Structures are given as C-alpha cells and as structure tokens.
Amino acid sequence: MVNSRDPKSTIAAVQHPTVGEAGKTGTWRTFRPVIDENKCILVTSPKARCHTCWMFCPEGNISKTRPPRVNYDYCKGCGICAQSCPHDAIAMRKEEDEP
C-alpha cells in the first residue's frame, strides 16, 4: 500500500508545512518592514478592523495582533506589507541603518 506519509512506501514528495521548513529566510532581507504604531489603525482606533498586512504577507510572517508583529526570523523583506497598508504605517528601512 502506497502511503505518502510513510518513507518506505511513498512515491512522491510531500511536505508538512512547519515554521522554518526552508531555514531562516530572514537573512535574505535587505530592507526590513517597521510598523509605526502611531499610524497603525489597529492601535490608534481600538475598534477598527484592518490586518491588511497580515492578509497580504506571502510568508505568513505577520501576526494577527494589535499591533501586528513581524517575525524577522523569516521575513524576506519583500515590502508587500508596506505597499498594502492603507494607512501608510509600514516603512521599509535598510537593514544596516537601524538595528
């Protein structure tokens, strides 16, 4: 019996999605997204709903919290969150400029 979860009998490659399956991809980053809590509507307006950055992050590296937090271990710095933020609350800063 072929079972893709059994290493002896599997005939195709399958992967169980886990955090860091491809290593710490945060090292690839040139620019890092920095969330300005004074502009993020989730902070400035406690009843507001947004989480657009969380929705758009292709790597699932932004938490659905108030304010949202970026996981810099895996964030590749693509900048999609900064582009998608309707309140201009995310800035892309060059890695060496700030810690």
Q: Report the interface residues with another protein, using CB under 8 A.
A: 1-5, 7, 10-17, 21-22
Nearer to another protein, 9 or 65 (CB): 9
Q: Give the Cβ contact number of residue 4 at 10 Å.
A: 11
* Distance of closest approach, residue 59 Cβ to another protein, in angstroms: 14
Nearer to another protein, 6 or 98 (CB): 6
CA distances, 63 to each of 1, 14, 21, 60, 71 (Å) = 40, 26, 18, 8, 8
Question: Which two tokens mark 33?
Answer: 């997204």
Note the residue count of the chain.
99
Nearer to another protein, 12 or 97 (CB): 12
* Distance of closest approach, residue 12 Cβ to another protein, in angstroms: 5
